[in-house]
Amino acid sequence: MADVGSGTPGRGTGLGAARIPVVPGFAARTAAPAPRARGKALRERVPRAAHASVVYPVGRPDAVRATEESNRGRVPELTPIRVGRMAATPFAFLRGSAGLMAHDLTGTPVTGVGVQLCGDAHAANFGLYGDARGRLVIDLNDFDETVAGPWEWDVKRLATSLVLAGREAGADEDTCRSGARDAVGAYRRTMRLLAKLPALDAWNAIADEELVSHADAHDLAGTLERVSEKARSNTSARFAARSTEALDGAGDRGAEGFARRRFVDAPPVLRRVSDEEAAAVAAALGEYLGTLSEDRLPLLARYAIQDVAFRIVGTGSVGTRSYVVLLLDHRGRPLVLQVKEARASALLPYLPAVGFEAPSTPMHEGRRVVLGQKRIQVVSDNLLGWTTVRGRPFQVRQFRNRKGSVDPTALPADQIDDYGRMTGALLARAHAHSADPRLIAGYCGKSEELDVAVAAFAMAYADRTEADHAALVASVRSGRTAAELGV
């Protein structure tokens, strides 16, 4: 027998593995079926072809009532702008109705495999942004609705959005169906690729130009290059130059001699706030600093807070409280932070119906958004954090850190399928951070059965969305629902 502590392994006793305990948080050494086999077995309970169907739950709210419900708790005077944006097109309606679609998705089959959902993975929520060194990365870029849930929900929302975007772009039905089918196919193939890689390589797979090549989205290269050029100049400095003015009065110069600046009203999108409101937002940044990694604090200590303004954002987010905070460094160079209200995920009420229970202890909603984003992205904003302003939860992030996006509704018809393949691959890479890709890959398989089924769902649900959009437009025209169009 080997001496205890001698470092000589035991021979013939079977104690080599037993001497290492199973450590919580690490994989167990077990003879249980491999993840791929477990995924494949799920097809018996949920055939892949079943994903073509949707059974709308009893009591489905109509589009107008669903929109009104989603406006609860928002700034009342801004909700007509939100309604006006949703009424613009069926694709825009889908963007603002994540909760209604989640309600409907409870009538679709799920495998029970959970991931950290984007929660709003429509085709316009993918884009470019800069990492800490200024390099551009392409990935999911909106996480307001992020929550743990069934991977199928993100996939079906993406596929549906591609059909609606294609229709708005003037593509024929075959092209729209192909875009949805190719997105699911790219998701499936990328998940299989990640399942074959060493765990660390799969985890660190960067969403960059190599992914475009992997997704066979070569026709998008020119479009992405044009978006990249715009993104490189989409910075805090450019926004500050356009949206602020210098103060030249006595005492309006910093210790370094540069002029102080303040935001300029540009209603309804940007407006100045009262001194009391600005002070509350600025004071909340103290709590925000406590949510950052300590190595970021010396950087922010070199900036002084100059001004705060209210700024409307997005389509689904219109009516939430959202501020921009102007910071200046010792040379008068700006950094702009966005302090955006974080509401409970619109998906949360519907997850128990498909077996996903809400956390027993509610989380600060800003923290939920930030942690969800970090779980999904390979590279995230290094200034992401959260805070509380006047009792409401907020997320904090850089504003205009070289962001750029493709407008899927403006793509040529022959690029819809390329865009679908690229976004499908990105979504798979995102989901593989929170679920074992071997498990999902085992379920999805090698055939196109899942691709065809989800594309059929997407075509049908796009029709449903168009009908919902028409109902909202009719309500606006009748005067029942207030809307500001074109804002």
Question: Cβ contacts of residue 266 below 8 Å, gap of 6+?
Answer: 243
- Which of helix, strand or coil describes residue 130? strand
DSSP 8-class letter at 181: H
Residue 474: name the closest of 83, 98, 164, 100 by CA.
Answer: 83
User: How far is Cα 8 from Cα 149, in angstroms, rounded to an integer?
Assistant: 47
Residue 9 is predicted with a pLDDT of: 47
* C-alpha pair distances (Å), 181 with each of 91, 160, 330, 367, 393: 18, 10, 52, 35, 38
CB 164 within 8 A of CB 139: no
Q: Give, in degrees to the nearest 5, the angle at Cα 185 between 148 and 459.
A: 80
Residue 5 is predicted with a pLDDT of: 44
Any idea which residue has 């018809």 for tokens?
Answer: 413
User: How far is Cα 333 from Cα 384, in angstroms, rounded to an integer?
Assistant: 20
Domains of the chain by residue range: 35-232+407-478, 236-398
User: How far is Cα 66 from Cα 475, in angstroms, rounded to an integer?
Assistant: 13
Kindly report the pTM of this predicted structure. Answer: 0.92
CB 128 within 8 A of CB 138: yes
Cis peptide before 268 (omega within 30 of 0): yes
Please, what are the averages of pLDDT over each run of 10 residues along the chain (487 residues)? 44 57 83 88 98 90 95 95 97 97 97 98 91 82 96 98 98 97 96 92 72 70 84 89 84 66 94 97 98 96 97 88 96 95 96 90 94 93 96 95 89 93 94 97 98 98 98 97 91
Residue 260 is predicted with a pLDDT of: 87
* C-alpha pair distances (Å), 187 with each of 91, 175, 485: 22, 18, 36
Residue 113 is predicted with a pLDDT of: 98
